[in-house]
Amino acid sequence: MAPYGVGIVDVTKFGPEIQEYLERIDETLRPYGVRFLIHGGSYHTLEGEWSSGLIVLEFADMATALS
């Protein structure tokens, strides 16, 4: 089973730094074989409250995830 990394983004102020990050993130993660399963987007909350962004990454193996 592949390991996963999960990030919860509370506050993001979009500006030049975030734009550059978004443009380069795939290139940065490519050597590690990381794949985005969830990276932002719209959502529908079924229970409770949710106001954050969600990121889920899939890694090729645990050694890579921990590097």
pLDDT in tens, 6-52: 998 887 777 888 888 878 888 888 888 899 999 877 888 899 988 78
Pick the CATH number of 4-66 from 3.90.1150.10, 3.90.1170.40, 2.40.10.220, 3.30.70.100: 3.30.70.100
Domain parsing of the chain, residue ranges: 4-66
Q: Which residue has the tokens 């995830």?
A: 65
Global pTM value: 0.74
pLDDT at 58: 95
Please give the helix or strand (H or E) that residue 8 lies within, else none: strand 4-9
pLDDT at 57: 94
